[in-house]
Amino acid sequence: MSLALLDEADDDIISIDSIHYDFEKIRAATNDFSDDNKLGQGGFGAVYWGTLENGQEIGVKRLSVNSSQGDAEFKNEVLLLVKLQHKNLVRLLGFASKGRERLLVYEFARNGSLDNFIFDPIKASSLDWDKRYTIIRGIARGLLYLHEDSMLRIIHRDLKASNVLLDENMNPKISDFGMARLLELDQTQDTTSRIVGT
């Protein structure tokens, strides 16, 4: 996968064909960002389910055009996720932009977020101890990768059940890196303040 590059002169994402999606194709995949396709709403925008022309299911984060933090979060998440590859991190497939519209295109996690299972008594009863252990272990492995094993040392800063997605096999995938921080090698999480990509 090619990296997306940040043009420091004008703060725009330089499109790399391997991860750049046509905005109109993503709009069509989500039925024009239909409420029927809406999976959730966060502080920086909404997340939609979609299906590409080839039948592949995707998750699309549509950042709010009114949020002053939207552009910074978009760049932060793209720059982080194209560099981070682990089975317990949500996989960024690409991005799309048009004017002030910014989209992040992810692999689709069929079982939604962990909070849907924790806070729903019926769904919670489906999580036996083996599944719970697998989920906890996967989250821990994802965090270990971020903190110790990746080329970058990353502190997520917003890890919660709603930011842990579950695939069709109930494997956890840490998502939403918009608030993440990059640590210098000699830095601790108590002293970090720099956002990756800015």
DSSP 19: T
Give dist(CA 120, CA 137) in Å, integer: 22
| Average pLDDT of the segment spanning 41-67 | 89
pLDDT at 17 over 70: no
pTM: 0.79
Q: Which of 133 and 100 is assigned the larger pLDDT?
A: 133
* Mean of all residue pLDDT scores within the chain: 83
Give dist(CA 60, CA 40) in Å, integer: 11
Q: Which domains does the chain have, with CATH numbers?
A: 5-107 (3.30.200.20), 114-183 (1.10.510.10)
Just list the catalytic residues.
Answer: 158
* pLDDT tens sequence across 31-44: 999 999 999 887 77
- Of all residues in the chain, the percent with pLDDT exceeding 70 is 76
